[in-house]
């Protein structure tokens, strides 16, 4: 029975929530395989086992999609770090590794394209050609290696997102296109986030929504409006940080003394796994179809989100059993009790 069509993203979305997992670049930076700043995924070629392992951890945590690590593996970014000659090899290898691990379970493989920093609304025609060529080369290699659909993500400009959508559709693949939300209400080319999603859906995007920048608290109110405005599938992939009305994006988070913490001192703002589980439940209740996580994401969050959606996943075998903890569990022995100091004293 299940042939390739049974692996299709649209069939799965029709059947229920698809759980996504991203944050590869941030996590592999923390592990010492990607340089913060340029954030080019050199790990794909330099330490493929490290990438393979993180894919596997997300798979075991319940991710339904292995997203090929081609975020920032485009011509502009590779030029920045002097590795333009590795462009094709990096893109092909990323998709190959995603496929390899996807087949250890039952996951789909997504090709991935993103913000290029080459798009310029003031020089729309010429810059659009540059962007289109970057997407075309990346996705032709990805399609050649085998992908189920494409995620075009972290789009600051609706104009750039529409180029991505067009290139994906020309390949005949399902398209998920999500916007970045660094500004209060609008894309960098001046479209309200909800309107921009509506335009993308009207132009044929199968899945529209938001990723990155905002934590659950400041993304969910916008995504709820998107849900109300479009009839396509909707995706939400927030960052696991405690953004709030006064600091709605992780780029705007500051400590009490006014120090900016983005991008490598964000830890004090991390959500707990329980907060990310709550987010997954809330997103599902709002009718969000693709529930995922972006920068800051890690396997323990994804497992908590999967379990919040009612799933038992391979890594659930090692899910917490705090009742067995010798100091705070259900049966703490007398000789251990004395160590539970009441510091309020």
Nearer to Zn ion, 118 or 239 (CB): 239
CA distance 248 to 252: 7
Give the residue from 108, 112, 35, 111 showing the smallest Cα distance to 72: 112
CA distance 227 to 219: 12
| 8 A C-beta contact, residue 74 and residue 138 | yes
Query: What 8-state DSSP symbol labels residue 61?
Result: T
Smallest gap from Cβ 235 to Zn ion, in A, equals: 13
Nearer to Zn ion, 212 or 288 (CB): 212
Smallest gap from Cβ 294 to Zn ion, in A, equals: 3
* 205 belongs to the binding site for Zn ion (CB under 5 A): no
- Expressed in angstroms, the distance from the first to the final Cα of the chain is 65
Binding mask 170-199 for Zn ion (x = CB under 5 A): ------------------------------
Smallest gap from Cβ 24 to Zn ion, in A, equals: 10
Query: Which of 294, 304, 308, 315 forms a contact with Zn ion (CB under 5 A)?
Result: 294
Nearer to Zn ion, 212 or 220 (CB): 212
* 295 belongs to the binding site for Zn ion (CB under 5 A): yes
Element (H or E) spanning 108, and its range? strand 108-114
Q: Which 206-245 residues touch Zn ion, going by CB under 5 A?
A: 212
Smallest gap from Cβ 333 to Zn ion, in A, equals: 45
Compute φ and ψ for 67, nearest 5 degrees: -90, 120
CA distance 292 to 9: 14
Choices 40-48, 158-166, 293-301, 336-344 (CB under 5 A): range interacting with Zn ion: 293-301
User: Which residues contact Zn ion (rule: CB under 5 A)?
Assistant: 212, 294-295
């Amino acid at each position: 029975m299940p042939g390739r069509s049974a692996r299709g993203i649209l069939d799965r979305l029709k059947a229920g929530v698809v759980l996504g997992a991203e944050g590869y670049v941030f996590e592999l930076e923390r592990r010492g395989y990607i340089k913060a700043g340029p954030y080019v995924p050199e790990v794909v070629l330099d330490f493929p086992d490290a990438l393979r392992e993180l894919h596997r951890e997300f798979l075991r945590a319940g991710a339904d999609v292995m997203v090929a690590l081609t975020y920032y593996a485009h011509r502009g970014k590779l030029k920045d770090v002097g590795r333009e000659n590795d462009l094709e090899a990096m893109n092909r290898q990323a998709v190959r590794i995603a496929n390899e691990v996807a087949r250890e379970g039952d996951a789909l493989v997504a090709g991935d394209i993103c913000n290029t920093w080459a798009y310029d609304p003031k020089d729309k025609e010429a810059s659009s050609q540059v962007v289109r060529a970057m997407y075309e080369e990346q996705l032709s290699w990805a399609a050649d290696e085998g992908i189920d659909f494409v995620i075009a993500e972290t789009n600051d400009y609706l104009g750039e997102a529409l180029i991505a959508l067009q290139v994906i559709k020309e390949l005949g693949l399902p398209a998920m296109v999500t916007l970045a939300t660094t500004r209060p209400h609008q894309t960098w080319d001046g479209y309200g986030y909800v309107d921009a999603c509506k335009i993308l859906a009207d132009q044929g995007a199968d899945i529209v929504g938001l990723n990155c920048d905002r934590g659950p608290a400041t993304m969910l109110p916008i995504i709820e409006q998107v849900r109300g405005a479009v009839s396509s599938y909707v995706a939400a992939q927030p960052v696991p940080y405690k953004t709030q009305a006064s600091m709605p994006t992780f780029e705007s988070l500051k400590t009490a003394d006014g120090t900016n913490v983005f991008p490598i001192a964000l830890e004090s703002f991390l959500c707990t796994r329980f907060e990310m589980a709550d987010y997954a439940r809330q997103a599902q209740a709002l009718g969000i179809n693709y529930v995922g996580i972006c920068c800051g994401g890690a396997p323990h969050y994804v497992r908590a989100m999967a379990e919040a959606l009612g799933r038992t996943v391979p890594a659930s075998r090692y899910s917490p059993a705090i009742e067995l903890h010798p100091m705070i569990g259900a049966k703490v022995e007398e000789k251990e009790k004395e160590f539970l100091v009441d510091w309020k004293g």
